[in-house]
Each structure stands twice: as structure tokens, then as C-alpha cells.
A and B are shown apart, each in its own frame.
Chain A
């Protein structure tokens, strides 16, 4: 077990470890090249469930032969009792829509504190299927919905009904039966606030742990439901799915622009996630001993990552190119390791000189995988207090120097150049959906969200420079009375200056901005895989592929579902 003091001593001061610099790590393209790792939230959650042997039982199973009805799972975790409630309703193919603006779904679900009696279940039934149009109370702390991957679902049901197993190659193409299209927590729609989840529900007191848990439970339900329907369809010939194949099913996810404002509006949290990942890397670089066991495992993981990438199917040309680059990088890495490898720092330097950014970050994820003892204790430190505090005593000259030092990337952007402020981000009146507009052809720029941090810094710096000329002796507090409109950005600059990594270094207003990088960064921290962009604005991906099944809880567990591979079974060569 580590402590906060030990972490701080490793991050700052005389005994700090050598961390990668902020201008390298916070570059948006690099953040958009991150992969899942041992520190990803899904991995941390599954470790906790498996090591603490959570008891998860089906308390109610009211599904008809078609799989419609209600199911309740009771979850006994070390610090509390919870119930996971799923409503399964008929949805026609025409009504199935993954967008935020949809109003009906195949499945809707809620994670609830404590027991669920019939009266409370009815209350949930009246509201959960309506999602945004319903209201719940503060016993509920996650609300979600999912749509069937219709083709895959029907295929799997048919196979099982006929006593056959699903073809692995088909699952490799689409590795799930359902896609979540939104997972709500943190007080939305009347639910418990994060303050409550963090302070009252110890079992879920880490960022997005409860949301990830709902997706894991959904994945389990999807397999159970498919088997249930198949069994009723043809009781004589039905065969259950083999566990190996079940584990290869994850849960699909569609993520759109909503995640992008989240990243900009929670800079402390993102900084914390990056700090923990970079600290883990620095620990491995400094302390990770390279012996024969590590060498063998390293080669196995490089090979596994290659196969996983080869098995990633996407129609998107950009992602296909990226995947090919990673494959090339892994091949070169394999060769480098065979020929000349004795030091992690040298290997990192080699990768920075010879690999794509995606390949470099794949190496980082593999390194974290090799040393659980140097990495895993950091997953208790992914939360952050999010106070954007002003430092009122800071002299204005010092404030100017902070901007020149920490926001050089923003000052280097020419905001007068064509296209540098062409994009604006706004909320549509349609369910307040975040959208991207182009100044030339879209309305609503005057209502844009304040996501242009770089541009705001530039404007602040220009006004501050003038002010410093006039009042070089003033404090920030005095500057704020004179220029109150800059209070938000000054507070952010000073707060991020107290962080090691600080703000994402990108101009989100630029014509060529790729929101995909923002989505991918957050999803990588969650721990998803199989990125499949559908445009530059939304991406499909797979969660929990390779993770243990609920039936595996209590059995031996070695936490080795990183970059999962298609199983090889007797019927599936």
C-alpha cells in the first residue's frame, strides 16, 4: 500500500522520479493515442470485485420467452448491499437509435442502494425506461440504457438454439450483444450526487467505478438473456455458450461529443489520472527490474498486443492506418527487444525515435502490465478535489511568468490565422446535446461553450501585459477587481500551475481539431478497446472484452485480460 505522502514525494521535490514533461504528455494527439492499461478503471473495478469476492446473485428473473421483462441482481459488496435492476422492452428496428436524442431503448437499467421492494420496483418501472424524461431519487446512483446489436444478437441466439457455438470470427468483428448509449451518474435526473457516492458507498468511491460496474453487469445480463431466449426457442437442441467464448463478449459503447466538454471542465481530474499513469511509468522506468521472467512476459505481451490489434475490425480508414502503424511499431519493438534491450529508459527513448505516438503509448501500457506491484496501488488515488482557487497574493508579474512558462503552447498559437477560431462548441436545444459548429455556416456562435482555453489564455495574457506595464507592483487580487471578466481563466491558470500536468494542450477552436482524440483519451482511462470511429465526432468501442464472468468470482484470478484475444476452441478453428 502506498500513501498520499509517498506519492507526493515521488512527484515533487528532491526525491521525485523522472516524469515525462507536460508538453509531451498533454499534447492532444498523444492523449488520443492512449490505450487501456492496468490502471484503467475497468481493470481496477474487476480487481476489486474478484479480490473481495463480491456476492452477486439473481434475485428476480421475470423474462418471457422473448427475453422481455424485469431482472434484479443483488450485489453484496464488503461495505454495502446494492441492487441492479434491468427492464427489457420490445423495440422495433426502426426505433433503435444510438444517439442521445433517442427516446426508447431495448434495455434500461439502474443501480440502487439497498433493497428493492415491489413498491420501489414499480416506481423504478415508471421512470427508468423513460431515461431523461423520467425522475429517480437519490437511492439510485447510475442510470443507463442499451441497444441490441441486432444482427449479432439474433445470430448468437440462433446458434445456441441449434446447439452450436457462435463463430469466433464473427465475434471478433463485433464483440458484443448490446451497446450502451449513455451511462448517467453524478446526480443527473435526481440521482445521488458524486459527493454521496464517494462518501457513503465505499465500494464505488472511485471515479466512474459505479458507471463501469453497470456496464459489467449489463455485459453479464446480455449473455444470460441470449441463452434464455435460445433455450426457450429450442429446448431440445439448445446448448449454453462455452465460458471461453462468453468471456470474449464485451459490451459495446457509443461515445459522442459529450465527453469532450467533460475533459475540459474537469482539469483537476484529468491531471490526476495522467499523474497516476505517468507516475506508474516513472516507477517502472526507475525500479522495474529486467530478469528472464520479465523478458519472456514482455515478448508474450508484445505478441498479444499485435494479435489484438490485428483482430480489431474497423471500416474507418484513419483508424485502420493507425492500427497498421501500431502493428509496424510492435514488430520493430519485438526486434529491438531481441537485439538490444537491457534498460527501460533506453527502450522508451528508442520508441520515441522510431515509433508512432500510438506505438509509444502501447509500449507504456505494456510496461505497466509487467509490474503490478509498482502500478496497482495507485488506482486508489484517481480522485481529485476540484477547486479552481485564485491565488490572490500572486504578483501580476509572477502571473505573467506563469503563463509564459505553463501556457507557452497557447501563446505559440496564432489566433489571427485563418481557421484558428473557426470551430465553436455549443449545446443544442435538442436534449442539450453538445455539437460542433463552423463559424462560416452554423448559427449559435454567440452561445458557444467556453472550451477555448488556449484562446482565453491568450486574451488574458494580452490584457495582463498591459496591466503589468501600468501597475507592476499589484497583486492578482487587485488585478481581478480591475478585470473581473478574467477571473475564470486566471483562476484556472493558477490552479493548473499547481498541478504537474495541467491543461490539455490544444486549440479546440481550430478548424482541424479532432474531437476523436478527446473521446479516445477518456475512453482509454476507462479501459475500453477496439476503437471504431464512425466519424470524427463519435466512436464505437468495446468494454470489458476478456473480463471474468460473474461465475468466475471466487475462483482463481490472475488479472490478465489486457488486450484480449479471440479464444481458440475445438469448434472454432
Chain B
């Protein structure tokens, strides 16, 4: 079925608010998912993978800076979803890049890392160039990279299936490079063993958005029902007393 971008955003906000995300964060989560989907980068597929764990982060410790100097930092996200922690990591890289020209932040133990693209785009729009790289999967390893130039509105994105073996160190890890002086662009190398290499240029990302603006978002009815069903958690039961407060 077709829905509008605004409908998806509003439903996702309710969904994440009902799942215990705090104020400001449930808007971020909704925006990150919508951003991927409306730019043709499979936000709803990512969401399907994240939904079964939507309440899992409630009891996990918050992200922690485990190392920091003027040009770098290492953050342990304690197994949290990028939807509730990656924006702060990008902000830290952003601040360090503004101070030092270029900075690197490495994030460990973070799931759903593709959602970082919205945060990267926000940096680009505000005049900072950013690149990110991460690997995914324990059996068949995929690698991913995205980058945006300073002042641009759209990033590029690439992914490939590799023949690499999963290493314990890079599991759920992600590297962010951020610069206020250098325009960063990324693409995956033609490494031996890489296949299904997919590169989406910034121009294609923009065209995907134009299509979404014209036509709305195609969504699986079951997924739409599930998002809305979780979102009912923010609604308050109706009663005669409750109706007294209606305008």
C-alpha cells in the first residue's frame, strides 16, 4: 500500500515513543528510518530487522566514551541500536572536526548502523564533510560506506558482499571520519572476492527522494499494521472522564 512520508514519520514516532525512546530520540529514530526509505535505501527493510529488538535497549547502559583525544574518540554503544545512539557519535566527530580540522570516531557494539546516513546528511547540510565505513554479518560479511561533502544535501552510499571472515573486533563497529577542511568521498575498492557491489551516487539518492515526494512510500501492509499497533501504546484509554478534556 501507499502512504505519505508524513504518515510514516508520525506512525514511527508513536511506535518508538511507545517503545520507551525518550523525547527527541523518538523523533530522531523516525527521521532516520524515513530518510533511508524516501531516498531509496531500504529504510523499511532495515526497520524490519530492528523491530523485533525495539524494546531491547531499555535496560542497556548508555553509550560511553572509552577513549578520547583532540582528534579522535572511541565510543562503546553497549549493543544499542544506532537509532538511539549514533547521532551523538556523529555530533562528537563533528565537534572535534570543527576544532581540529579532521577527526575520527570509532563506535563499537552498535546495531542497525545503516541508519547513520541521516546523521551524515545533517552534517553535510551544515558544512561538514563526513565519511563512514562499517561491516556487517557473521557468516557472509558485507561492507558498507557512505560519505557526503561539505554543504551538500545528499550522500553517496556503497555496499558489497565480501569473502572476508568476520572478526571479533569489527563486529558491530563503525568508523566515522569527519572534516571541516577536506571534502571526503568514498567508494568500495574492487577487492578480490567482493561481489554484488552496489554504488548509489548522491545524484541517484536525490532522484529517489524526488520520486518519493511525487508518489509517496510503498509499504507492506503487515509492516504498516505492526508499526501502528506498537504505536497505540502512546494512546490513553477512552472514558467519560477523558471526554471532559476534549476540545
Which residues in A have some Cβ–Cβ distance to B below 8 Å?
A: 99-100, 135, 137-138, 186-196, 199-200, 256-258, 387, 389-390, 392-393, 426-430, 432-438, 441-444, 447, 450, 456, 475-478, 480-482, 484-489, 491-492, 515, 519, 535, 537-538
Contact = CB atoms under 8 A, between A and B. Distances in A.
A429 B236 contact: yes
B191 interface: no
B247 A535 contact: yes
B87 A487 contact: yes
A473 to B, nearest CB: 12
Contacts of B91: 390, 392, 476-477, 480
17 contacts: A138-B4, A138-B215, A188-B6, A392-B91, A430-B238, A438-B245, A441-B241, A447-B233, A447-B234, A481-B92, A482-B65, A487-B24, A488-B23, A535-B247, A537-B245, A537-B246, A538-B247
B43 interface: no
A408 to B, nearest CB: 22
B23 A432 contact: no
Q: Which of B22, B62, B88, B89 has the largest number of chain A CB atoms within 10 A?
A: B88
Interface string B129-147: 0000000000000000000
A188 B4 contact: yes
Interface stretch (B94-102, B162-170, B197-205): B94-102
A107 to B, nearest CB: 22
B3 interface: yes
A477 B95 contact: yes
B94 A392 contact: yes
B223 interface: no
Contacts of A489: 23-24
A444 B122 contact: no
Interface of B is mostly: helix
Nearest to A433: B246
Contacts of B24: 485-489, 491-492
Contacts of A390: 91
B247 A256 contact: yes
Contacts of A484: 22, 25, 62-63, 84-85, 88
Given A435-B245, A436-B247, A195 B235 contact: no
B75 interface: yes
Given A393-B95, A456-B23, A435 B246 contact: yes
A393 B98 contact: yes
B56 interface: no
A447 B235 contact: yes
Q: Which of B84, B233, B238 has the largest number of chain A CB atoms within 10 A?
A: B238
Contacts of B28: 487
Interface string B8-45: 00000000000000111101100000000000000000
Contacts of B99: 393
B35 to A, nearest CB: 13
A188 B7 contact: yes
Contacts of A194: 6
A192 B2 CA distance: 11
Given A190-B7, A428-B242, A447-B236, A477 B94 contact: yes
Interface residues of B, number: 51
A444 B237 contact: yes
Interface in B193-247: 213-216, 232-239, 241-243, 245-247
Given A392-B94, A480-B91, A481-B63, A437 B242 contact: yes
A257 B245 CA distance: 9
Contacts of A487: 24-25, 28, 87-88
Contact of A477 (B3, B6, B88, B234): B88
Given A390-B91, A488-B22, A428 B4 contact: no
A200 B62 CA distance: 43
B5 interface: yes
B181 interface: no
Contacts of A477: 88, 91-92, 94-96
B58 interface: no
A276 B91 CA distance: 32
Contacts of B3: 190
B23 A450 contact: yes
B25 A432 contact: no
B7 A427 contact: no
A187 B241 CA distance: 32
Contact of A137 (B2, B6, B89, B247): B2
B222 to A, nearest CB: 17
A32 to B, nearest CB: 15
A427 B65 contact: no
A456 B22 CA distance: 12
B126 interface: yes
Nearest to B62: A484
B24 to A, nearest CB: 2
Nearest to B234: A447
A485 B21 CA distance: 9
Contact of B242 (A435, A486, A491): A435
Contacts of B213: 193, 195-196, 199-200
Contacts of B64: 481
A534 to B, nearest CB: 9
A325 B25 CA distance: 45
B5 A99 contact: no
A455 B24 CA distance: 15
The 10 closest A-B pairs by CB, nearest first: A488-B24, A187-B6, A537-B247, A187-B4, A444-B236, A256-B247, A257-B247, A477-B95, A392-B95, A392-B91
B207 to A, nearest CB: 14
A192 B1 CA distance: 15
